[in-house]
């Protein structure tokens, strides 16, 4: 099978449509299971009481907010080096998802910070760099909207996304590089997690839910982008689309 075939928007459009419902279902199932573990199975935290249960959306959305930018950087690199349209469309489709995840991470962080630290917001390195990430997502979306020619917009956005990737390690390591109000990582690939097993399980299942949700949403958005940009192309089955709308 030649995978390069799917680099064409015409070939990818039906593939995205086929897979989208499966990712949406997986996201829903993981959300139900994750919330059940998080609210029923996981014990109350001995220091933070019930307030810690915000962790089950805060950590997954914060991880996704950083990870989505790295995925966008990957697609941007492909778009610039291979000049493939679909790669740039994928980056374009992920940007609003990343902005939403960043907003959720900041919002849930504020409402977790208030009861545990006594403040909704502090200008510490972790929070400030995450806020900059939100502005970078806004910047990518605004830059695209400001350029009429989609292929020029692809190149400009790809460059901005690659340059903006420098912020991701800054966010991730901010809790080590500077003294922050925000705590350090409780979960890492190199050390045992410093939290109860059921809490960790709930957080990981909710992270899976965030992954599946992001993929499902990005697949729908890339389909909309393909239709917007390929209007009038011979492969688009206009009568079939007319029947469905």
Token pair recorded at residue 119: 């403040």
User: Residue 152 or residue 228: which is nearer to other proteins going by CB?
Assistant: 228
When asked if residue 223 is in the footprint of other proteins (CB under 8 A), the reply is yes
Provide the Cα torsion 2, 8, 215, 225; round to 10°.
Answer: -170
- Burial class, 231, CB count within 10 angstroms (exposed 0-12 / middle 13-18 / buried 19+): exposed
How many chain residues are in contact with other proteins, going by CB under 8 A?
40
User: Residue 104 or residue 168: which is nearer to other proteins going by CB?
Assistant: 104
User: Residue 82 or residue 233: which is nearer to other proteins going by CB?
Assistant: 233
CA 21/CA 25 separation, integer angstroms: 6
Residues 88-117 that bind other proteins (CB under 8 A): 96-97, 100, 103-104, 107-108, 111-112, 114-115
- Pick from 180, 194, 200: which is nearest to 42 by CA? 200
Binding mask 61-90 for other proteins (x = CB under 8 A): x-----------------------------
When asked if residue 144 is in the footprint of other proteins (CB under 8 A), the reply is no
188 CB neighbour count, 10 Å cutoff: 10
Instruction: Please report, in angstroms and rounded to a whole number, the separation of the first and last CA atoms in the chain.
Output: 33
The only residue of 14, 21, 49, 184 in contact with other proteins, by rule CB under 8 A: 49
Give the nearest distance from C-beta 230 to other proteins in angstroms: 7
User: Residue 71 or residue 206: which is nearer to other proteins going by CB?
Assistant: 206
Give the nearest distance from C-beta 207 to other proteins in angstroms: 14
Q: Are 196 and 42 in contact (CB under 8 A)?
A: yes
User: Residue 114 or residue 151: which is nearer to other proteins going by CB?
Assistant: 114
Largest CA distance in the chain: 63
User: Residue 18 or residue 111: which is nearer to other proteins going by CB?
Assistant: 111
Beta bridge partners of 125: none
User: Residue 57 or residue 71: which is nearer to other proteins going by CB?
Assistant: 57
Q: At what angle do helices 85-117 and 125-146 cross, to 10 degrees?
A: 150
Three-state secondary-structure class, residue 120 = coil
Footprint of other proteins (CB under 8 A):
39, 44, 49-51, 53-54, 57-58, 61, 96-97, 100, 103-104, 107-108, 111-112, 114-115, 213, 217, 220-221, 223-225, 227-228, 230-232, 236, 238-239, 241-242, 244-245
């Amino acid at each position: 099978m030649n995978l390069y075939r799917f680099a064409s928007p015409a070939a990818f459009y039906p593939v995205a449509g086929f897979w989208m419902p499966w990712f949406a279902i997986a996201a829903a199932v993981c959300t139900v299971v994750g919330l059940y573990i998080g609210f029923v199975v996981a014990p109350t935290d001995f220091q933070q009481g019930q307030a810690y249960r915000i962790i089950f959306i805060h950590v997954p959305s914060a991880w996704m907010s950083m990870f989505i930018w790295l995925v966008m950087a990957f697609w941007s690199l492909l778009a610039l080096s291979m000049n493939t349209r679909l790669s740039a469309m994928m980056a374009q489709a992920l940007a609003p998802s990343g902005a939403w995840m960043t907003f959720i991470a900041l919002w849930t962080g504020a409402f977790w910070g208030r009861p545990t630290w006594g403040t909704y917001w502090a200008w510490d390195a972790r929070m400030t760099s995450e806020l900059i990430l939100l502005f970078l997502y806004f910047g990518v979306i605004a830059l695209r909207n400001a350029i009429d020619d989609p292929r020029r917009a692809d190149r400009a956005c790809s460059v901005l996304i690659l340059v903006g990737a420098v912020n991701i390690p800054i966010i991730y390591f901010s809790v080590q590089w500077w003294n922050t109000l925000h705590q350090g990582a409780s979960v890492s690939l190199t050390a045992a997690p410093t939290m109860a097993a059921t809490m960790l399980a709930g957080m990981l299942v909710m992270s899976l839910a965030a992954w599946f949700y992001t993929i499902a949403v990005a697949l729908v958005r890339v389909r909309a982008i393909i239709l917007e940009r390929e209007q009038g192309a011979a492969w688009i089955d206009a009568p079939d689309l007319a029947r469905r709308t």
